[in-house]
Chains A and B, each alone.
Chain A
């Protein structure tokens, strides 16, 4: 497996000068890449973020989502399904597709980036909430809202690194991975994951080795990243192009 990788023959090199293949091989030795780049922009190399994060705070089930970004065609069926299922007001959204267009790019000029609440392990919105109206569900790690406690101070909207919070009536609402509308009623998928015709959104228990999202996250062939890793929120929505 590592036939072309002989430590003794390598000269001293900085990380910058390591050839991509060598770096890949190095990473295969036991580091997992997450948060490498988002939207084509290098943000951070974070060793074993996903493995470490989940081992530290594991829920059963530990819900998460993998976005296979390259497959998204911006049909927005996910957005429509979400709005329908979760009674999202016309001016709001729980999930959205962003477009990254690069005229100078060779070949494909556009890519689409679906975004939603990242159900973080270290959620900034939960820390900021004065009345514990936003909380992390102890059983499944989903960030949920208790409407009667919400005072509408909107600090969570500012704290969220993913612009995932919106006002609905007098309460600051958010995506709950369809917990209220579907999961708690025995459904296995979120509305957006079910509606996606291209298989972009892979939803499930990321702590279960037999689950689909697990197989996309815990592998070493394709880079997996998260959005805005520098915020330290430890999201549970992962992106890949594999």
Chain B
């Protein structure tokens, strides 16, 4: 009985295997050879950046992170952690936004599916590159995560669930390439659940630090999911537009509809994040002590430019207006708005990580050592790794566009 079931599954797999897939791969190689000069120049440019930042990263490893990075005892998490969060936020967001179409069946978002799945794998990998260079002993993590797990630790859950997330995203993408849609949806659904669980755990790393009042509470896990969706929208609009420019394609009708839906979704999500931001500030201001000091530091103090210019204006308000103005039809404007959002969101992540640490845990004691706001400036090494990781995303995206031929959508 069992053997019979096995053979029928096998025969199903064999029968459903589309030989055109193999042919497709072969022609992909052909496309790679016949890229334009501009394409190769751009690829070369990103290769150079990655090469240079790899050298800097190796230098950081050899001199020790303590020397190479700008983080301190009081501010142990800096731009590398915030960049990691930026990447995984984008990845989770892309996964959620794409799932609306190809998992939950909202037709208008189907055309962005494949590219979004591919990009979410690319961004999570870029995030892992950064975290690999942030954690002191990343390889031990894999070993001791299994040998001596601490199930009360959010980091444990996040690491494990993101591992599962990446595995199932890759599986989903592979199935999509093979045109095995039903099983792709199952893999996608598992990836979605583990992604959301992992991502809310990432928020909970901050939200469950009861010694840090700026972060502590249920706000962080919830906010992380909403802002992930906002980031996902920005990323898919930006990369779709760029891909269409590279491939010299025109937007067919399904894609035009997808862009309209995306622009509306972006407007909605920016509004929600603005709403969250307003209430985070207002509730924080009625307290006393460290939290108020933190909020003042980004409303009027040394982080005011980051907050008002980058987070609020470049990250949310101006893109919101541009999206409304574009009506989902003016793709150049939408792409520019989403690029602004990506920049703003990058700063948002930086502020989120750093601002939770700028007020010392001993501030309330009123001691001379910790009266004011602590400062952190990313070092050259840290910047180089950040730029390197961004280039990894750019390069893999460009490669993907050629190899997977513009991620053409299939009928579901």
List residues of chain A with CB under 8 Å of any chain B CB.
38-41, 43, 91-92, 98-102, 113, 115, 124, 126-133, 148-155, 157-163, 165-167, 170-171, 227-228, 231-233
* B209–A158 touching, CB < 8 Å: yes
A131-B145 in contact (CB<8A): yes
Asked whether A131 lies within 8 Å of B156 as measured between CB atoms, the reply is yes
Cβ-defined contact, A98 with B369, below 8 A: yes
Cβ-defined contact, A131 with B150, below 8 A: yes
Which residues in B have their C-beta under 8 angstroms from that of A155?
153, 155, 205
Contacts A149-B144, A153-B135, A158-B212: A39 and B365 contacting too (C-beta < 8 A)? yes
B148 touches A124 (CB 8 A): no
Establish whether residues B76 and A154, one from each chain, have CB atoms under 8 Å apart when the complex forms: yes
Chain B residues, CB < 8 A from A150: 136-137, 140
Minimum distance in angstroms from B397 CB to a CB of chain A: 29
Report B-chain residues with C-beta under 8 Å of the C-beta of A91: 66
Please indicate the chain A residues that have their CB under 8 angstroms from the CB of B153 in the complex: 127-130, 155
Contacting residue for B366 out of A100, A133, A166, A232, CB 8 A: A100
Contacts of B138 in A (CB 8 A): 151
Contact B150 A129 (CB under 8 A): yes
Min CB distance, B151 to chain A, in Å? 10
CA–CA, A202 and B252, complex, Å: 78
- Indicate whether A41 sits within 8 Å of B364 (C-beta atoms), given known contacts A130-B159, A159-B209, A163-B74: yes
Give B284 Cβ to nearest chain A Cβ, in Å. 16
**B140:A39 contact, CB within 8 angstroms:** no
Q: Is B286 an interface residue (CB 8 A)?
A: no
CA distance A151 to B137 in the complex (A): 5
Residue of B nearest to A157 (CB): B76
Q: Is the CB of B76 within 8 A of A158?
A: yes
Given contacts A128-B154, A130-B159, contact A151 B144 (CB under 8 A): yes
- Please determine whether A162 and B361 come into contact, CB atoms closer than 8 angstroms: yes
Q: Which residue of B135, B150, B211 contacts A160 across the interface (Cβ within 8 Å)?
A: B211
Across the interface, which residues of B come within 8 angstroms of A171, CB to CB? 136
A150 to B335, CA, bound (A): 43
Q: How many A-B residue pairs lie within 8 Å, measured between CB atoms?
A: 142
Chain A residues contacting B159 (CB-CB under 8 Å) are: 130
Are B360 and A163 neighbours in the complex by a CB distance under 8 Å? yes
Interface string of B122-147 (1 = CB under 8 A from A): 00000000000001111011001101
| B365:A131 contact, CB within 8 angstroms | no
Q: How close is A108's CB to chain B, nearest CB, in angstroms?
A: 15
Task: Judge whether B211 and A228 touch: CB under 8 Å.
Answer: yes
Q: Interface extent on B, as a size class? A: 35 or more
Whether B23 sits at the interface, judged by CB under 8 Å, is no
Nearest first, the 4 A-B pairs at minimum CB distance are A152-B136, A161-B211, A131-B144, A130-B156
Known contacts A163-B73, A167-B66, A231-B210; decide if A153 and B367 are in contact (CB<8 Å): no
A148 to B148: give the CA distance in the assembly, Å. 11
**B346-387 contact mask (Cβ, 8 Å, vs A): 1 or 0:** 000000000011001110111111100000000000000000
Known: A39-B367, A154-B136. 20 other contacts (CB 8 A): A38-B364, A39-B364, A92-B73, A100-B367, A102-B366, A124-B210, A124-B211, A127-B150, A133-B144, A133-B148, A151-B144, A152-B136, A153-B136, A155-B153, A160-B211, A163-B73, A163-B74, A167-B76, A227-B362, A231-B210
- Distance in angstroms from B358 CB to nearest chain A CB is 13
Taking the closest CB of chain B, its distance from the CB of A100, in whole angstroms, is 5
Q: Do B155 and A128 touch (CB < 8 A)?
A: yes
Q: Say how far B147's CB is from chain A's closest CB, in angstroms.
A: 8
A91, A148, A153, A171 interface centre (most CB from chain B within 10 Å): A153
A188 to chain B, nearest CB (A): 30
CA distance A133 to B211 in the complex (A): 20
Q: Indicate if the CB atoms of A124 and B137 lie closer than 8 Å.
A: no
Whose C-beta in chain B lies nearest to the C-beta of A159?
B209
B202 CB to closest chain A CB (Å) equals 12
Contacts of B210 in A (CB 8 A): 124, 161, 231-233
- The residue that B365 contacts in the complex, of A127, A128, A227, with Cβ under 8 A, is A227
* Residue numbers in B under 8 Å from A161 (CB-CB): 210-211, 361
